Every structure is written in structure tokens, then in C-alpha cells.
């Protein structure tokens, strides 16, 4: 029963395991630890009392690596599908945005045409009212009738333009 004071690296070399595994084993067995002058951890251990058989390296890890590799490939495939779907949604969004812009332009144009048509109708109605008043008071009915005919023609022409546009 000889107690030795070893670093994790030396303990790992003696037990044929890695320094990280040696540290984990020392913590699990609650072995007394201290610090050396150079700052490394030292473990007080009786190697005769430790019954440690290292697991074969690679067999368990190879299965885990294959499993994680398969999961990684599946996740990468899912990411690619999601990116493709997002690109499709983005294209749909851009198409609908352009369509909405065109509809807004058409709406503004129609509104401007309606406003112009209302103003023209109000102006023509005012002229008709003036002509009717003159027709009642004025003796020159021929001029009034001619002007009423011109206004009627203007109204018909404006209506045709509005129907075409």
C-alpha cells in the first residue's frame, strides 16, 4: 500500500487512460488533491486499491460518431429544405409586393381620373345652369341652344373617355 502523488497525466499513463479520464476518475473516487509549485493538480492515490479497467477505445466512440454524423446529415438536409422553402416564400412575397404596388398605382390613377371627372361634371353643370337662366331671360335662344348642344357633346365625349380608360 504505497500512496503516490501523481499529476493527472501521470495517473492516466499508469492506468492507460487519458488525462481527462484520470481527472474524472479522481473526482469520482474523491481522491485527495493538491496543487504543485508549478500550478498543476496532484492526486494522492494508492494504485493497488484502484480497480479500473479502461474501456476499449473506438468501439463505443465509433458508434456514437456514426450516430452523430447521421443526425448531423439529417439536420443539414432539413436546413437545406427550410432554406429552399424560405426562398420560395420570399419569391412569393416579392411577387405579391410588386402586384400590390401596381394595384396601388392603378388605384391612385383611378382616383385622379374620378376627381377630374367630378370637377368637369360640376363645371359643365354650372354652365348648363347659366345657359338655362339665360335662355329664360335672353332673347337669343339660338346661341343658347347651340351652346347646350356643345355641352351635351362635351359630356358624351367625357363619358366615352371615362368608359375607355
Q: Which helix (H) or strand (E) holds 3?
A: strand 3-7
Cα dihedral sign, 1-40-57-31: positive
Nearest CA to 46 out of 26, 63, 28, 61 is that of: 26
Which set of grid coordinates corresponds to residue 53?
479497467
Tell me the pLDDT band of 71, cut-offs 50, 70 and 90.
very high
Separation CA 136–CA 145 (nearest Å):
12
The per-residue pLDDT for 47 is 80
C-alpha cell at position 60:
463505443
Considering the domain architecture, whether residues 38 and 96 belong to the same structural domain is answered as no
* Judgement on whether residues 37 and 89 belong to the same structural domain of the protein: no
Note whether 72 and 107 are same-domain residues: yes
Q: What's this model's pTM, rounded to 2 decimal places? A: 0.40
Are 41 and 119 within one domain?
Answer: no
Residues 50 and 65 in one domain: no
The answer, yes or no, to whether residue 121 has pLDDT greater than 90, is: no
- Answer yes or no: do 67 and 13 share one domain: no
Residues 31 and 71 in one domain: no
Whether 90 and 109 share a structural domain = yes
The residue with greater pLDDT, 130 or 78, is 78
User: Which residue range(s) make up the domain with 64?
Assistant: 60-164
| Residue 30 near residue 50, CB atoms below 8 Å | no
Q: How many domains, the chain?
A: 2
Asked if 95 and 158 sit in the same domain, the reply is yes
The reply to whether 72 and 148 lie within a common domain is yes
CA distances (Å), origin 92, targets 82, 103, 105: 15, 16, 20
Amino acid at each position: 500500500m504505497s500512496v503516490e502523488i501523481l499529476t493527472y497525466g501521470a495517473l492516466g499513463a499508469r492506468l492507460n487512460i487519458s488525462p481527462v479520464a484520470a481527472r474524472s476518475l479522481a473526482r469520482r473516487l474523491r481522491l485527495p488533491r493538491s496543487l504543485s509549485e508549478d500550478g498543476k493538480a496532484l492526486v494522492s492515490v494508492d494504485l493497488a486499491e484502484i480497480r479500473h479497467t479502461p474501456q476499449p477505445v473506438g468501439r463505443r466512440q465509433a458508434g456514437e460518431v456514426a450516430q452523430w454524423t447521421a443526425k448531423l446529415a439529417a439536420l443539414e438536409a432539413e436546413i437545406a429544405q427550410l432554406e429552399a422553402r424560405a426562398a420560395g416564400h420570399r419569391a412569393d412575397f416579392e411577387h405579391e409586393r410588386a402586384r400590390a404596388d401596381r394595384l396601388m398605382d392603378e388605384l391612385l390613377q383611378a382616383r385622379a381620373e374620378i376627381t377630374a371627372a367630378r370637377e368637369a361634371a360640376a363645371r359643365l353643370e354650372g354652365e348648363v345652369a347659366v345657359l338655362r337662366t339665360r335662355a329664360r331671360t335672353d332673347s337669343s335662344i339660338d346661341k343658347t341652344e347651340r351652346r347646350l348642344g356643345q355641352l351635351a357633346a362635351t359630356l358624351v365625349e367625357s363619358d366615352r373617355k371615362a368608359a375607355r380608360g
